[in-house]
Amino acid sequence: MPTHTDPSVLYPEVAACGSLATALQAEANGLLGATPVTSPDFAPLLHATAGSTLPHRGPLEINAHSHERRWSIRGTEPFQNMPLIDGSTDDLAEVARAARAWHDGTSLAGIRQAAPFVHLTGRFEVPDRDPARLAESEWQSMRLEAGELEYTWKDSYQALIETAHAEPALRALYPFTSHWALRFSTTTRPCLTVVGPCLIANSDGTYVVGKDFTGDLGRFTTTYEAVAAAVRALPSGLGSVTLGA
């Protein structure tokens, strides 16, 4: 199918409404109820946000693709601005159902049930911002992401994530990735405090550990050796994870 950069060509019904927010309301035919949906002035045909009744949910971001007829969503928690749900669909009515469920405080699994295109990132909601729970949520998301990868080195990367998660000293830290290298922090997002080494899964099935990306702490043939080396490189006296505010 040919693609267009002019949103009025890709989305004529949205253009007729004047904004994506208005088109969503029209497509929903009353389903959105009191859900506040707005579009920005700078690109009203391509963007919209839907608010939530829950203070620990940010507005659901709704974006139209510019080269194919499709809409994407991203629902975040506002403290770290990390996605709890995302997904894309060519059905605007499905977007409206997701927006209503997000607004009404429906559980994350319930949102996916209401709109099957929704993808759960693995993160769970932590209304009280407990840093240990935020770290646990990030680990869960990372493990899910590793299992969903389609790259050739998926198995090696997934094995590294799972082995690191099984090690209590690393599991107690807040995990994050940089260029697919597994790293750790003593604080949550939004302000990370990097600690210890980084671990990298190579495409040849080996693993390197280093103070940076050079692998200066060794190359290993198993995840267990790599994780053990990473634990040895951790500084002593690390306390509990704290909020990175």
Q: How far apart are CA 138 and CA 204, in angstroms?
A: 27
Contact 55, 103 (CB under 8 A): no
User: Is residue 14 included in any domain, yes or no?
Assistant: yes
Q: How far apart are CA 22 and CA 11, in angstroms?
A: 13
User: Is residue 239 included in any domain, yes or no?
Assistant: yes
Contact 165, 143 (CB under 8 A): yes
Q: Say yes or no: 112 and 181 in one domain.
A: no
Quote the domain boundaries for residue 40.
Answer: 7-120
Domain endpoint, select from 76, 97, 120: 120
Domain count across the chain: 2
pLDDT at 167 over 90: yes
User: Is residue 68 included in any domain, yes or no?
Assistant: yes
The 37-38 sheet, strands edge to edge: 37-38, 47-50, 60-64, 71-77, 82-89, 119-120
pLDDT category, 4, cuts 50, 70, 90?
low
Residue with the larger pLDDT of the pair 164 and 213? 164
Q: Say yes or no: 13 and 90 in one domain.
A: yes
pTM of the entire predicted model: 0.93
User: Is residue 216 included in any domain, yes or no?
Assistant: yes
pLDDT (tens digit, 9 = 90+) per residue, 68-79? 999 999 999 999
Q: Say yes or no: 88 and 149 in one domain.
A: no
User: Is residue 2 included in any domain, yes or no?
Assistant: no
